[in-house]
Chains A and B, each alone.
Chain A
Amino acid sequence: MAKITFDGIEVEVEDGTTILQAARKIGGDVVPPAMCFYTPLKGSGGKCRVCLVKVTQGSARDPRPMPKLVASCITPVQDGMVVENTTNEDVLNARKGIVEMLLINHPLDCPVCDQAGECDLQNLSYEHGVSATRYEEPRRTFNKVDLGPYIQLHMTRCILCYRCVYTADQITNKRVHGVLGRGDAAEIGTYIENVIDNDFSGNVIDVCPVGALTDKTWRFKNRVWFTKPLNAHRDCPTCSGKVTLWSRGETVLRVTARKDEYAEVEEFICNTCRFDKKEMSDWTIEGPRNIDRGSVISANHYELPVVNVPIVPNLPKSTVKKMPTE
């Protein structure tokens, strides 16, 4: 066991735990944000640098501070370590710089993006970023790519966190999805037209911290803050069947895996559950999902939209307002 002091809070964790996991054991505001680290994925972390912290005392035996800020998601704790995150000015400034760098090539198309409202990068830049950009050069752009019939890749929005690549490597048993090119030219590819047809390929949507990988069955359907998240399950032969339904009225608009407070998937779900079971009758509803009060998703005080039918012909059925029957 190792005892460390994180932002002045003492916590005892197992040897080999990372600083980030130790901070998550404390919980609350002191936890450093993470864009690339993902607990269920082996080998993830160390890429985005937003979880940088200052180690002011390396260990009880060697109390010298670490010379540079370290990525807390891949640095293991040592007994007697003293770490500063929110209490250190350097860390906060470095994080501000990292956010600015992540946003250099990220398009500001949040009004169009389906991830808006549950986007890690949006939250990160809201909490740690600056409101203006200093970048004047053109941002890199890519065309949209279809990864199979259900997943769409917007490479322009990608921050190269490699989460989806690790998912494709570890959850699926055939590698069809990786990063092509290097540096500025790096992009998520599927090895030329190799569509992802694995049963669990849809999970790359859930692990994506931004809107780079999105669900095509949910594309432009609605905004996440107008939908009602419900915990539900079904008897699924391939996965646990425990999901979150994003519904509006009686319509299931989207199915995702359940995510914890750090937006990490609790149990990966299969493509049948995610893309094909879009009826309320397919699911056993457990109840509404608890959403953080500060989240925009908790603003979903909405009913079915009132639609003036004669003005707009051929509307989808979901927009017809049902009058209460007596």
Chain B
Amino acid sequence: MTLSERMYLPAIAQGLGITLKHFFKKKATINYPEETRQRSDVWRGLHVLKRDENGAERCTACGLCAVACPAEAITMTAGERKKGEEHLYREEKYAVTYEINMLRCIFCGLCEEACPKAAIFLQDDKLAPARYERDEFIYGKDRLVEPLKTTETK
């Protein structure tokens, strides 16, 4: 090596140049969760149990989502609809409990495909957020069922 090469001065200048160049480049990262990227229309995120046009739950606890689930993340217990609950549940059978373990779920969407009642969907705008406790990842009906639209906000 020559003397100038051994002093590494040109190499240092070259390195600083690369660093400087990056100041003016577009950043590869974003400030999640304040900013979010646009997701694809077919993005599979957090599940939702839909209601029908009258606000009754569509799910009849038929178990097809649970049997289709490759990760065995879904469990449910069924119950019989009583008289006077027709506005709550669409069919004579409904899910008393319905749980999805989000740690097990691989968000493949097979439950959505299996559902004969168009009850379960994977939303494209919501994710299962990180939490500290494992229990908190077991989503029950309280967090899965679509909220009733009481006001005309939407």
The interface of chain A, by Cβ under 8 A from chain B, is 109-112, 116, 219-223, 225-226, 296, 299, 301-302, 305-308, 311-312, 315-316, 319
Known: A109-B91, A219-B80, A319-B97. 14 other contacts (CB 8 A): A111-B91, A111-B117, A220-B93, A226-B63, A226-B66, A301-B72, A305-B97, A307-B97, A308-B135, A311-B140, A312-B97, A312-B141, A315-B97, A316-B77
CA distance A315 to B97 in the complex (A): 9
Q: List 20 A-B contacts (CB under 8 A).
A: A111-B60, A111-B91, A111-B116, A112-B60, A219-B80, A220-B79, A220-B80, A223-B62, A223-B63, A223-B67, A226-B67, A299-B67, A301-B72, A302-B72, A306-B75, A307-B75, A308-B140, A312-B97, A312-B140, A319-B77
Contact residues in B for A112 (Cβ distance below 8 Å): 60, 62, 91-93
Task: Check if A225 sits within 8 Å of B63, measured CB to CB.
Answer: yes
The interface of chain B, by Cβ under 8 A from chain A, is 60-64, 66-67, 72, 75-80, 91-93, 96-97, 99, 101, 116-117, 135, 138, 140-142
Task: Check if B79 sits within 8 Å of A306, measured CB to CB.
Answer: no
Contact residues in A for B72 (Cβ distance below 8 Å): 301-302
Chain B binding surface, main DSSP class: mixed
CA distance A18 to B101 in the complex (A): 54
Task: Check if A110 sits within 8 Å of B138, measured CB to CB.
Answer: no
A116-B62 contact, Cβ under 8 Å, with A312-B140, A312-B141: yes
Contact residues in B for A316 (Cβ distance below 8 Å): 77
B116 to chain A: closest residue by CB:
A111
